[in-house]
Structure 1
Amino acid sequence: MATPAAEALPIAPGENRVAFQGMDWVAYQQMKALLNERTRARLTYDRGTLEITMPSELHEFYARLIERFIVILVVELGLKIKTLGSTTLDREDLERGAEPDNGYYIQHQPQVAGRPINLDTDPPPDLVVEVDINHTDIDKNALYATMGVPEFWRFNGKVWHIYQLENGAYAERDRSPTFPIISKDELYQFLATCQQNEVEAELNLRSWLRELS
């Protein structure tokens, strides 16, 4: 499988973001209820700071394709998955909440299968993905580390960062702890091919994975 550099990907127009300071938990919940009914906005809350994001077309393109990339890996590697999408991950005890681009239970899928999750008693998702092209006022690494998310992927439209939780903080890794068989180049290749032909990109990735098994 060819492995182009990240520079092969097009420059992405960024998301529209607005941040509010000094907003308590009750006000955050009220804003979330209002916006979730009327808009496609994504909300992230961190101890008084509320950030509202309106994703761009290319933001959604990357987010949905990274999700497809993950599902292909899970299927071809014989794993299990529970997909959360942008389900709100609220932790009032931490004064933090987020609606990530993608969230998944993989290692803990059997523990949460077939029912709604409850973060008061269930573990956090095993893997969370965020596409952040424009600057964000929220320290998302600290946010998801505090929530205890074991693996966090960030993609800025050019570069893929993989973080693994260690001693309460994230350490960057060259390969995913969940999918050590793949490198960053495989994702870059997949996204680059998807620019022209998503079906071809999926078939190529599945074929490559089957050749490895």
Structure 2
Amino acid sequence: MAPPATEDERVILNGMTWQDYERLLAERGDLAGARMAYLDGSIELLRSSFQHEAVKKTICRLIEAYADERGLSLNGYGSWTLKSVLGQRGVEPDACYALGVPSGDVPQLVIEVVWTSGGVNKLEIYRSLGVGEVWIWERGAGFSVHVLRDGRYEKAPRSALLPELDLPLLQSFVESPNQSQAVRASREVLRGG
């Protein structure tokens, strides 16, 4: 058995139409595979590495544990395909969430893990779709929070959606090799232990 990929696999197809993007989404269907994004005639196909997926899953588990500990009604929607036919923009985030039931066609929070740099400008896609907040976790840099204000993203020191969440504390658990231990340690800190 081959060892898991250590880097993401990314292909950019240029000179593509919105119809090409829709056709690729339809052909893939609900099967697991490369996530797709479309922006300005470029289609990005991304197959995440083992490490990318591990970090994403750890972040999700930590956010969900935080919400549970604080009694928040947080709903996760995985890599929901977000798109605008009129704006001809589409993307499948690493993960996305809403507090309560999402109002409209987009989540309130998107999580993106950048393990391998490059690709289409996903922030531009999220901006045009009206996603209120995007957290980008980048290997070697940690979290950056982008909050949509007046039609553009502003970098923020903390989440507007979850303002009491201590992102540096969350970051301290993200690269743990054991997700369950990271979640238990996080819960202990949240409980004041």
TM-score of the aligned structures, taking structure 1 as reference length: 0.81
- 1:145 matched to 2:132? The reply is no
| C-alpha deviation, 1:36, in angstroms | 4.2
Q: Tell me the CA shift for residue 179 of structure 1.
A: 2.1
Deviation at 1:54, TM superposition (A): 0.7
Long gaps (5+) in structure 2: none
Query: SS of the residue aligned with 1:211?
Result: coil
Once the two structures are aligned, what percentage of the paired residues are identical? 30
The equivalent position to 2:41 in structure 1, one of 37, 44, 48, is 48
Higher helix share: 1
Q: Which residue of 2 aligns with 1:87?
A: 80
Q: Residue 91 of structure 2 contacts residue 122 of structure 2 at CA under 8 Å; is this kept in 1?
A: no
SS in 2 for 1:28: helix
Aligned partner of 2:74: which letter?
A: I
8 Å Cα contact 2:93/2:111 also seen in 1: yes
Cα distance in 2 for partners of 1:100, 1:123 equals 14
More strand by share: 2
Query: How far, CA to CA, are the matches of 1:163 and 1:37 in structure 2?
Result: 29
Count of aligned positions? 188
> Following the alignment from structure 1 to structure 2, what is the Cα–Cα distance between the partners of residues 13 and 167?
39
Distance verdict in 2 for CA 1:37–1:176, change over 3 Å: closer
Equivalent residue number for residue 177 of structure 1: 160
State whether structure 2 residue 170 is matched by structure 1 residue 187.
yes
RMSD, aligned α-carbons: 1.9
Distance 1:140 1:199 in 2: 30
Question: Paired residue for 1:204?
Answer: 185
Length-normalised TM-score, structure 2: 0.89
The residue correspondences of 1:47-66 to structure 2 (distance < 5 A) are 47-66=40-59
Equivalents in 2 of 1:110, 1:101: separation in Å? Answer: 19
- Unaligned stretches of 5+ residues in structure 1: 1-11, 113-121
